[in-house]
Homo-oligomer: A and B are copies of this chain.
C-alpha cells in the first residue's frame, strides 16, 4: 500500500525572481521532479492586475521549475500547480512555499493512526466564458474538488482543511466569443469590483467547493445567489481567477490517517475583520500548543505556515462601530495589509500567506475570513 508523505517548505524571496531558496531545497533533495506538486506564494508588487512583480515571479518560477522537471516551460502547469498571490503590503514577507508529495510504501492496513496531511489535485478542466460566475462553473469546480479529494485519498469533507482553486475570469476576447455564440456573460466589468467578473469567478469557485464538501446544499444554489446570498459560503476555499485562463485547477489539503507526513493541518474562520481569536483557533486546530490563551512561544517554531484570506467586509460596521475602509480608494491594498497584521500579530512572524482583493465573498462567513495553519510534528 502506498501512503503520502507531504512536506511544506517556506522560502523567503529576496526579489520576485528569486529562486535561490527553491534551488537549495532541490540541491538538498527535499524537492524533486517527482515530488513537487505545488508552489504557493506571495509576490511583492502592486497587487493590482498589472502587477509586474507577480508576472515576473511567475515567469521566473516556471522557468526554474521547467529546468527541475526537465520539461518545456509550457508543460510545467501539467505537473505543478502555481498559486501566486500578488502584493505584500505591510507586514507580509514575500515568499514561496514548496509542496512536495512522496509516495511511500506502508504495510497494508497500517492506517488508523493520527490523521496527517495529504494533498490532491485536479484539473485542468475547461470552463466556458458563459459559465464563469454561474452554475456552470460551480458544477465544474465541485467536480474538480471531488476529483482532487480522490487524488488525495480523502473521503470525508470534514477532513478537508484548505482548497485552493484557480479559475478563468473574463476578458474582452472571451466575452466576444461567448456573445458571438449567442450566450450572455455574468458581467462586462472585468475588475474585481463588487460586480466584476473576477469577483463572480472567484465566488462561484468558492460555492463549487462548498457544494462538493456539503457546506452548502446543492438545492440552495443558482445563478442568482452568487454574490447575493452571503449566508452560503465555504470555510476552506481560497479561490482566484485570471482573465487569461481557460481552465480551472484545484489543489486540496486535508488530513488522512493513511498519511505518513510529519505535519498537521487545521483551519478556522474569523468572525469579523479584527478577530484575532479566529487566527488563534486555526493554530489550535492545527495542533499548536497554547499557554495562557496565546500560542506557546516555544511551540511556535513548529508552525510551518499560515494561509489566510483577507476579503474586506461589505459593511461599514465592525462590532457596531463605523469604519471608512469601503470609502478608501486603496481599500483592497489596505485590507490585505490588515489581514497580514492580524495573522502576524498572532504568529509572531511575517512570513504568512495572506491574499485579499475582494469585497464580500463566499470564501468564509460574512465579514469574516478563512485561516488554515500547518504545523510540524515532533
Contact = CB atoms under 8 A, between A and B. Distances in A.
A249 B52 CA distance: 27
A351 B344 CA distance: 21
Q: Which DSSP category, helix, strand, loop or mixed, fits chain A's interface?
A: loop
A327 B53 CA distance: 13
Contacts of A349: 319, 321
Interface stretch (A108-116, A144-152, A329-337): A329-337
A52 B56 contact: yes
Contact of A194 (B12, B190, B273): B190
Contacts of A88: 323-324
Contacts of A327: 44, 48-50
Contacts of A273: 91
A134 to B, nearest CB: 16
A350 B324 contact: no
A190 B195 CA distance: 9
A319 B49 contact: no
A100 interface: no
Nearest to A295: B293
A188 interface: yes
Contacts of A345: 274-276, 341-342, 345
Interface string A60-98: 000000000000000000000000000011111110000
Contact of A338 (B48, B195, B337): B337
Interface string A191-207: 10111100000000000
A348 B94 CA distance: 29
A194 B292 CA distance: 40
A348 B274 contact: yes
Interface in A5-52: 12, 14-17, 44-46, 48-52
Contacts of A274: 91, 341, 344-345, 348, 350
A221 interface: no
Nearest to A45: B52
Interface in A209-251: 227-228
B194 A59 contact: no
A322 B21 CA distance: 14
A318 interface: yes
Given A93-B323, A348-B319, A350-B274, A329 B48 contact: yes
A325 B294 CA distance: 27
A109 B83 CA distance: 66
Contacts of A90: 323, 325, 334-335, 337-338
8 contacts: A16-B52, A50-B324, A52-B53, A89-B330, A90-B335, A94-B324, A191-B194, A337-B338
Which 10 residue pairs across A and B have the least CB separation, nearest first?
A292-B293, A293-B293, A189-B195, A50-B327, A52-B53, A276-B345, A56-B56, A195-B195, A274-B344, A341-B341
